[in-house]
Structure 1
Amino acid sequence: MAVARTFAVALNGLDGHVVEVEADIAPGLPAFVLIGLPDTALGESRERVRAAAVNAGCPLTQRKLTINLSPAALRKQGSGFDLAIAVAALAASGDVGVESVSGVVHLGELGLDGRLRPIPGVLPSVAAARRAGFAKVMVPTANAEEAELVEGIRVIAVASLRDAAIWHGAGFSPEPVDPVGLPAAGARSNEDDGALDMIDVLGNDEAIEALTVAAAGGHHVSMVGPPGAGKTMLAARLPGILPDLTDDEALEVTSILSLVGAPIGRELMRRPPFEAPHHTASAISIVGGGSGRIVPGAVVRATNGVLFLDEAPEFPARVLDVLRQPLEAGTITVHRANGVAAFPARFQLVLAANPCPCGRYGSPDDECTCTPIARRRYLARLSGPLLDRVDIRLSVRRLSVAAMRASRAGGSPISGHEPESTSGSSAAIRQRVVEARAVAAERLAATPWTRNAHVSGSWLRTGPRHLPHAVTSSLDRAFERGAITMRGFDRTLRLAWTLADLDSASTPTAHHVGAALFLRRGMGS
């Protein structure tokens, strides 16, 4: 009997690699041999596939069956190869068409009753199959809607191994079964952030304008203030003023949700994600890992969105330090004994902290009991290298009723905009952000970047858009005094360009550079 071949997909992070599944039947004692560097879950597929085939009414051969997963040097993980192994074995024994199975990518886990169970990572797997040139993919019924999000490939949904065999030409009579469904948890909605509107934030016009600048340029933010000052409220509403994701960003975000096993709806996620891990989170939960399949961490799940660390000084220093590399590179590579996985990790970081351990320092009503040394040690938990990567630093104060009412009377000290445009609804602020990003995208059309926060510092300093000394004189003096680092110099220039984009200015002025330096060195401090 000739060797039968079909295909599956092995995921390494978000990257999918098409795997050829070969089945060979040879004379000898009954055996089921699986080779090709499978992990434990995949190695156990021998028993799952054999039992599923028997209970589905299409038993496998009783001769020696060898399954090879090629390329053999590539690690294969998980139970998503079950369907491909089963149909390849059936094709080798002549129960289904060899030519039919060779043109389809098969994804799915088999239950002992022969039904197909949904698996995580279907969306990136189908996208990898399409990139490899395949026109058809077979998936469990529960994963069909998710797979159909990838355009240009035919999705074949089957509920059981018997249905899959019949589709490939087996002479079995159909036996209806109830498809295995997805978990009861609902899929994330594109309107999840609609209830959190910036108009609910009162008396913090300066902070709202600063977050508008952060959203327009993709800048990182830190907020220091006593409890009740509105830090968490502001951070939770930042995704609401971010623009909808582009097609590529939406596919990336939805693929990450698929990879972690979250239910996927009928459309790609168009709203930026928001991740807020607790301060007891470990470094592995932040960056990703696991003893088996490498699972994305919070920095990956926040890709193209916001990562909010509330009570940031309470996070262990080791956890905070792992953020440095993804903040600079926009990617994270997780190394474990069972393999290496690379993930996207370009997000906006928002840090929130109390001014001291008791949280009352600077409050006009409460007396702080912390010593100056205790206050310095508390905030020193946020290391200098980490804070140097934060573009905007806010000092948020609790406001009185009189100050809250008077806050609407004047414009923002950052850019001088009228208060209606800085303290309006999230939809109105989002429109300003969209317009500013469009200006930046047009200016950067001939470069690899689309947002100001991602632009190379050397390009800003020496490229065609470099600013004259008369405009950057305040920034130059701060650098000469050692008040900011070279990284801080570049990040301040990026902020100045974002402020200019919000003002629809063709180039930053000295006022924009001064306002950027004001934001960089700690607004309101």
Structure 2
Amino acid sequence: MLVKTFSSAVYGIKATTITIEVNISSGTQYFIVGLPDSAIKESTFRVESALHSAGLRMPRQKIVINMAPADIKKEGSAYDLAMAIGILAASGQINAHKLDKYLLLGELSLDGSLQAIKGALSIAIQAQKEGFKGIVLPAINAREAAVVGDLEVYGLENISEVIAFANEEKTFDRIFVDTKAEFLNNANNYDTDFADVQGQENIKRALEIAAAGGHNVILIGPPGAGKTMLAKRLPSILPPLSLSESLETTKIHSVAGKIAASSSLMTIRPFRAPHHTVSDVALVGGGGNPQPGEISLAHNGVLFLDELPEFKRSVLEVLRQPLEERQITISRAKFTVDYPASFMLIASMNPCPCGYYNHPDKDCVCSPMHVQRYLSKVSGPLLDRIDLHVEVTPVNFQELTAKQRAESSKTIRSRVIQAREMQEQRFKREDKMHNNAQMNTKKVRELCKVNAAGQTLLKNAMEKLGLSARAYDRILKVARTIADLDGNPEIEVHHLAEAIHYRSLDREAWAG
């Protein structure tokens, strides 16, 4: 008897429906065809043990399972449930009439319980597009899939419950998630706040500018100056995620298996801080079965690279293309996977190996050559993609013990949102531009015009401060954002002066 069940495979962040065709005939052998990997071939033992645990039997006949389309490689153990139910239906042990309306997903334990899968949200979205009535999957993934409101989602604990569902012996509660309510209730629920940071007003101002324009930032300062503490608070002043951004971010984390069982949506902007020992594959994604890397997990949020010069040079260099294209393409012999990677980069570093170059109180023991060698670990092309270079100095005792509470993230965020709204209007006819940091050279020339006094200031800055030519466009972009924060349609001289101040590492005299 031939029976078809349906499951799904995730490639990148998109799902593809897989048809599981089970045919049982006379004989004794067991075949799985359709490019299965080792995890799928090993499913024979998991399925047989799970069926015995449910009080059923594995047919002692010839079983052929085809996974269609047969030219796509199938990987992972999420097909266990669909194959087990297909075998039971083909052998006449359960009723199969409603199986063609549902996707079945889940890894089987030997006792028949269902283990978590990855990519439940992507799978549910694709199931809805293809007209499936619902999806049956492990309970731990149910809320994640139930974000797709028009789809019946049943989160079950074991294969016995799935059999009862197929035979209509028991009624199970459909999982409901009020997507909009959950999104609104949990949006901007950050654990950190700029109000906790005493002093460092100039650094907060720089981060406000970065958030308003989507600019990348590098913080340079001695140990203990507060670089990491400030960086961790950056997401709290970024504009709230839109619902579409939330769904896209959730899909990426779902594919990576990073969604908690109690949650269904990513409602706050992600903050990823990989250790400096991270590999290039872990950072950008990849592997035999390609998975999203840290830059994709930071999509619509912040990627924080602490102690930037300690990262391997090869790791830093792979960031250059994603920073420009805002996506990463992973190519394999038979397929190509695209992961979105639109993130804000914030990096921090010491100014020298000992950490105390330019420190107001402590002496640096590094020679100019050692300082320059340390700074040169970060390449010019990477620095070229970082708009703001900010020097962080230690907080003095008076600021640290001041009783006056600092400005809250909520207050700062309100100004950032206003500036972003101006940019949305400015770029409403552009497909791939949403903020000032994304402007290309043509748009910079068109939208960042300065008067004669501003041109004179830029000319003097280039000559007297030894600024590099590559700094010119970056200064104009940052000046445009500063003007937006002021609500000014024109770039004034003081906007340019502040933007020039944020190009420390472009100065030829910096670090000797």
Correspondence for 1:217: 213
Compute the displacement of 1:52 (Å): 1.4
| Inter-partner Cα distance in structure 2 for 1:475 and 1:320 | 33
What amino acid sits opposite 2:3 in the alignment? A
What amino acid sits opposite 1:432 in the alignment? R
What amino acid sits opposite 1:61 in the alignment? P
Query: Helix, strand or coil: the match of 2:6?
Result: strand
Query: Helix, strand or coil: the match of 1:351?
Result: strand
Correspondence for 1:497: 480
Correspondence for 1:416: none
Query: Helix, strand or coil: the match of 1:194?
Result: coil
Q: Which of 166, 177, 180 does residue 168 from structure 1 map onto?
A: 166
Q: Verify the 8 A CA contact 1:478 1:484 in the aligned structure 2.
A: no
Task: Indicate how the Cα distance of structure 1 residues 230 and 260 shifts in structure 2: closer, same or farther if over 3 A, else same.
Answer: same
Task: Indicate how the Cα distance of structure 1 residues 175 and 128 shifts in structure 2: closer, same or farther if over 3 A, else same.
Answer: closer
1:179-198 Cα offsets, whole Å, 9 max, x none, are: xxxxxxxxxx9589734221
Q: Verify the 8 A CA contact 1:9 1:17 in the aligned structure 2.
A: yes
Q: Verify the 8 A CA contact 1:7 1:19 in the aligned structure 2.
A: yes
1:310-363 Cα offsets, whole Å, 9 max, x none, are: 111111111111111211111123346796533221111111111110011111
Task: Indicate how the Cα distance of structure 1 residues 371 and 237 shifts in structure 2: closer, same or farther if over 3 A, else same.
Answer: same
| Inter-partner Cα distance in structure 1 for 2:139 and 2:59 | 27
Query: Helix, strand or coil: the match of 2:190?
Result: helix
Structural mapping, 1:36-75, within 5 Å = 36-75=34-73
| Inter-partner Cα distance in structure 2 for 1:114 and 1:503 | 62
Percentage identity across aligned positions? 40
Q: Verify the 8 A CA contact 1:149 1:266 in the aligned structure 2.
A: no
Correspondence for 1:454: 438
Q: Verify the 8 A CA contact 1:114 1:160 in the aligned structure 2.
A: yes
What amino acid sits opposite 2:286 in the alignment? G
1:375-409 Cα offsets, whole Å, 9 max, x none, are: 00001101101000001110111243357799x9x
Correspondence for 2:77: 79
Compute the displacement of 1:15 (Å): 1.6
Compute the displacement of 1:220 (Å): 0.4
Q: Verify the 8 A CA contact 1:395 1:522 in the aligned structure 2.
A: no
Correspondence for 1:134: 132
Compute the displacement of 1:11 (Å): 0.9
| Inter-partner Cα distance in structure 2 for 1:469 and 1:58 | 82
Pairwise CA RMSD = 3.0
Q: Verify the 8 A CA contact 2:165 2:171 in the aligned structure 1.
A: no
Task: Indicate how the Cα distance of structure 1 residues 161 and 510 shifts in structure 2: closer, same or farther if over 3 A, else same.
Answer: same
| Inter-partner Cα distance in structure 1 for 2:458 and 2:362 | 40
What amino acid sits opposite 1:80 in the alignment? A
Query: Helix, strand or coil: the match of 2:363?
Result: coil
| Inter-partner Cα distance in structure 2 for 1:394 and 1:296 | 30
2:496 counterpart of 1:516: no
Q: Verify the 8 A CA contact 1:52 1:161 in the aligned structure 2.
A: yes
Compute the displacement of 1:253 (Å): 2.1
Task: Indicate the larger mover: 238-247 or 510-519.
Answer: 510-519
Q: Verify the 8 A CA contact 1:257 1:264 in the aligned structure 2.
A: no
What amino acid sits opposite 1:11 in the alignment? V
Large movers: runs of 4+ above 6 Å: 173-176, 403-406, 478-482
What amino acid sits opposite 2:106 in the alignment? G
Unaligned runs of 5+ in 1: 177-188, 409-419
TM-score, length-normalised on structure 1? 0.85
Q: Which of 446, 449, 452 does residue 467 from structure 1 map onto?
A: 449
What amino acid sits opposite 1:227 in the alignment? P
Residues paired across the two proteins, number: 492
Structural mapping, 1:13-52, within 5 Å = 13-27=12-26, 29-52=27-50
Compute the displacement of 1:523 (Å): 10
Q: Which of 157, 165, 181 does residue 159 from structure 1 map onto?
A: 157
Query: Helix, strand or coil: the match of 2:73?
Result: coil
2:347 counterpart of 1:348: no
Q: Verify the 8 A CA contact 2:286 2:292 in the aligned structure 1.
A: yes
| Inter-partner Cα distance in structure 2 for 1:191 and 1:353 | 31
Correspondence for 2:367: 371
Structural mapping, 1:195-274, within 5 Å = 195-262=191-258, 263-274=260-271
Q: Verify the 8 A CA contact 1:107 1:139 in the aligned structure 2.
A: yes
Correspondence for 2:100: 102
| Inter-partner Cα distance in structure 2 for 1:253 and 1:303 | 6
Q: Which of 284, 289, 300 does residue 287 from structure 1 map onto?
A: 284
Task: Indicate the larger mover: 104-113 or 254-263.
Answer: 254-263
| Inter-partner Cα distance in structure 1 for 2:299 and 2:8 | 23
| Inter-partner Cα distance in structure 2 for 1:244 and 1:523 | 33
Query: Helix, strand or coil: the match of 1:19?
Result: strand
Q: Verify the 8 A CA contact 1:307 1:349 in the aligned structure 2.
A: yes
Query: Helix, strand or coil: the match of 2:46?
Result: helix
| Inter-partner Cα distance in structure 2 for 1:33 and 1:327 | 46
Q: Verify the 8 A CA contact 1:55 1:112 in the aligned structure 2.
A: yes
Task: Indicate the larger mover: 281-290 or 77-86.
Answer: 281-290
Query: Helix, strand or coil: the match of 1:517?
Result: helix
| Inter-partner Cα distance in structure 1 for 2:323 and 2:129 | 29
| Inter-partner Cα distance in structure 2 for 1:273 and 1:35 | 40
Structural mapping, 1:396-411, within 5 Å = 396-401=392-397
Query: Helix, strand or coil: the match of 1:270?
Result: coil
Task: Indicate how the Cα distance of structure 1 residues 115 and 203 shifts in structure 2: closer, same or farther if over 3 A, else same.
Answer: closer
Compute the displacement of 1:521 (Å): 4.9
Correspondence for 1:124: 122
Task: Indicate how the Cα distance of structure 1 residues 490 and 37 shifts in structure 2: closer, same or farther if over 3 A, else same.
Answer: farther
TM-score, length-normalised on structure 2? 0.88
Unaligned runs of 5+ in 2: 173-184
1:194-224 Cα offsets, whole Å, 9 max, x none, are: 3422122222111101100111111100011
2:322 counterpart of 1:326: yes
Compute the displacement of 1:475 (Å): 8.2
1:215-236 Cα offsets, whole Å, 9 max, x none, are: 1111100011111221111111
Compute the displacement of 1:452 (Å): 2.0
| Inter-partner Cα distance in structure 1 for 2:83 and 2:457 | 63
| Inter-partner Cα distance in structure 2 for 1:195 and 1:64 | 58
| Inter-partner Cα distance in structure 2 for 1:265 and 1:455 | 39
| Inter-partner Cα distance in structure 2 for 1:468 and 1:133 | 55
Query: Helix, strand or coil: the match of 1:8?
Result: strand
